[in-house]
Amino acid sequence: MSPKHSLPRQSSRNSSKQSLTLSARNRLSIIAEDGDAPPVPKVPARAHHRPFNHRWNLGDPPRHSFEKSPPAYGVWNAPGPDLETPEDVKTKKPNKHLQRRGGYGRLLAIALLVIATVVALVVGLVVGLRKKERTSDSSPSPSPSPNTTSDDQGPFPIGSYATTTFLESATTNCTSNPATWLCYPYTTYADSPPDAKATFNWVIAAASSDLTSNNQYTISSSNNPFAINFANAAMVLVDVNTPMERYSFSIRLDKTVVPSAPITKNNSIASCFYSNTLFQGSLYTRMSNTYPASINSSSVSSTMGTASSSNFEPWPYAAEISQSISGGSRVPECYEGINSNLGDRITDGFTAQPDTDACSCLYKNYDP
């Protein structure tokens, strides 16, 4: 073979070798699985102050290593924006809002305070209700009276009552002229029991809209033959739960008396006034009445509620009423009567009596 023909062969061999080299470069590198592979150069350790996800060029660290067998099938809890590792939980900072407000300790204290308040309210309500029940059970109340059915009647003692009494005594020590102090019906029980009868018509009402508010009642006169008129006098329950339990009231008023005998020189009609006369009454709730014989506690109890609302029910228990005034200057003040008008004051024949002397009228319906 001549040299002239050997050159092309060499060129062809070189071209083939270059093709193999380029082809080998384009192939993936072979991973050696034996110990003859050249050592892999060490990579410098990453700086620890860098963020965790920046320590790896591709973001997250490799999940598997070629030096170990793959783990069992499962879910890889890789750290991310929505998942936390135990280290993250340990190093997680508390809520800034809670830190400003005092933290979880203050939140716990508030919760305990709310619970304690609710418990205290419940306990207070229970204790209050029990105390109210005990008070209502032990509160004093007058002896029950038979229920009434008329429209004007209500829980005892509310209603309209006619209290029948007798005039037990009459004293005239406050005035120098006994004819100027009179007590209706002008006859005492000692003089004539039938003629000593005096009936007081009264209306008892609740002092407020609550009919059972601590036994607060008022009493007013009605159709009074003694011309003693008053309204809404307060009644008080005294001597509670005793045989002498009663409703008592007292009021100051003016009493007018037409003398039983002439006190003027010309025998004209006169009127005498006793200012600031004390009018007192006691309506018992346990003690029986004995006068008149046809009206007593037992007979009244069996008939109460049968009368119409326009009538006055008999008071079913004992009662005591009195009028009294002490002596003094201008007790009484008497005037002449001229054509139903008051004339001159009458002073002749009058002498002021000491204030230790009194005029009185005493009425009751028990133990004559």
* Mean of pLDDT values over 24-29: 52
Residue 5: pLDDT over 50: no
Note the pLDDT tens digit of each residue in 311-362.
889 999 999 999 999 999 999 999 998 887 888 999 998 999 999 999 999 9
Q: What is the pLDDT of residue 84?
A: 53
Dihedral sign, Cα of residue 20, residue 21, residue 23, residue 28: positive
Residue 229: pLDDT over 80: yes
Residue 30: pLDDT over 90: no
* Mean of pLDDT values over 53-62: 54
Give the number of other Cβ atoms within 10 Å of residue 100's Cβ.
8
Q: Which of 202 and 90 is assigned the larger pLDDT?
A: 202
* Mean of pLDDT values over 68-93: 55
Which of the four pLDDT bands, split at 50, 70 and 90, describes residue 109?
confident
Which of the four pLDDT bands, split at 50, 70 and 90, describes residue 151?
very low
3-state secondary structure string across 49-80 = CCCHHHCCCCCCCCCCCCCCCCCCCCCCCCCC
Which of the four pLDDT bands, split at 50, 70 and 90, describes residue 197?
very high
Secondary structure (3-state) at 154: coil
Residue count of the chain, please give it.
Answer: 368
Q: What is the pLDDT of residue 37?
A: 55
Residue 154: pLDDT over 70: no
Which of the four pLDDT bands, split at 50, 70 and 90, describes residue 268?
confident
Helix, strand, coil percent content, the chain, rounded in steps of 5: 25, 25, 50
